C-alpha cells in the first residue's frame, strides 16, 4: 500500500493547465487524499462551476496517482460544498503566482475593503508599484483580469478574488 504522504507528494507535481506555475496542491483544490488497500481516493473541488480545466485536472490527477497505485485504482470524487475560494491558495502558491507574473488575489478574510466593493490597488508583479489599473474584466482565462501598471507600463494579469 502506498502512503498518503507519497500520494500528496506526487500531487505537488500535478500542474494546473491554465496556470502552470501552480500545482493542484498550491491551488488548494485537493480537499482530501486517502490511501486505501486497493489504491486511493482523492477529493477535488473545482475553482468554479464550468471551469474548462476541471476535466483536464481530474485526468492529470488520476494519471499521476495511477503511476503509484496502478491503473484503475484511483477514485476521484468532486466535492462542491463548501465551494472553493482563493483563500485556499497556499502561501507558496501566492508567491509562485507573483513570480510567474500574475498578481495574486488578496486574502478576502484579510481585506474587508474588497468585501465592501472598495478596490484596493494591486501591486504590479514586475515592479511592485501599486499605481495600477484594471483594463479588462477578463484575461487569458475567466479566473483572471487584465491590468496595467502605470509606473512601468507593463500589462499583467491578476487572479480574481473568489
| Ordered alpha helix ranges (H), 54-145 | 54-69, 91-100, 112-115
Report the pLDDT value the prediction gives residue 1, as an integer from 0 to 100.
Answer: 84
Supply the pTM of this predicted model: 0.85
Bridge partners (DSSP) of residue 36 are 39
CA–CA dist 89, 47 (Å, integer): 10
Report the pLDDT value the prediction gives residue 11, as an integer from 0 to 100.
Answer: 98
Q: Could you list the pLDDT tens digit for every one of the 162 residues in the chain?
A: 899 999 999 999 999 999 999 999 999 999 999 999 999 999 999 998 788 899 999 999 999 999 999 999 999 999 999 999 999 999 999 999 999 999 998 776 555 455 555 567 789 999 999 999 999 998 888 888 999 999 999 999 998 887
Report the pLDDT value the prediction gives residue 142, as an integer from 0 to 100.
Answer: 83
Residue among 7, 23, 8 nearest 88 (CA): 23
C-alpha cell at 62: 488520476
CB pairs under 8 A, 24+ apart, for 8-17? 8/33, 10/64, 10/65, 10/67, 10/68, 11/42, 11/61, 11/64, 11/65, 13/64, 14/57, 14/60, 14/61, 14/64, 15/60, 16/53, 16/57, 17/53, 17/56, 17/57, 17/60
Amino acid at each position: 500500500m502506498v502512503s498518503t504522504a507519497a500520494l500528496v507528494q506526487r500531487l505537488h507535481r500535478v500542474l494546473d493547465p491554465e496556470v502552470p506555475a501552480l500545482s493542484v496542491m498550491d491551488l488548494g483544490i485537493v480537499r482530501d487524499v486517502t490511501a486505501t488497500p486497493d489504491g486511493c481516493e482523492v477529493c477535488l473541488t473545482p475553482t468554479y462551476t464550468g471551469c474548462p480545466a476541471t476535466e483536464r485536472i481530474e485526468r492529470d490527477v488520476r494519471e499521476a496517482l495511477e503511476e503509484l497505485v496502478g491503473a484503475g485504482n484511483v477514485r476521484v470524487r468532486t466535492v462542491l460544498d463548501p465551494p472553493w475560494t482563493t483563500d485556499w491558495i497556499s502561501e507558496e502558491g501566492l508567491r509562485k503566482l507573483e513570480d510567474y507574473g500574475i498578481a495574486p488575489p488578496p486574502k478576502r478574510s484579510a481585506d474587508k475593503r474588497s468585501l465592501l466593493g472598495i478596490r484596493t490597488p494591486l501591486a504590479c508583479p514586475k515592479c511592485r508599484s501599486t499605481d495600477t489599473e484594471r483594463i479588462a474584466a477578463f484575461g487569458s482565462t475567466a479566473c483572471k483580469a487584465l491590468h496595467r501598471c502605470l509606473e512601468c507600463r507593463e500589462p499583467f494579469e491578476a487572479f480574481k478574488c473568489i
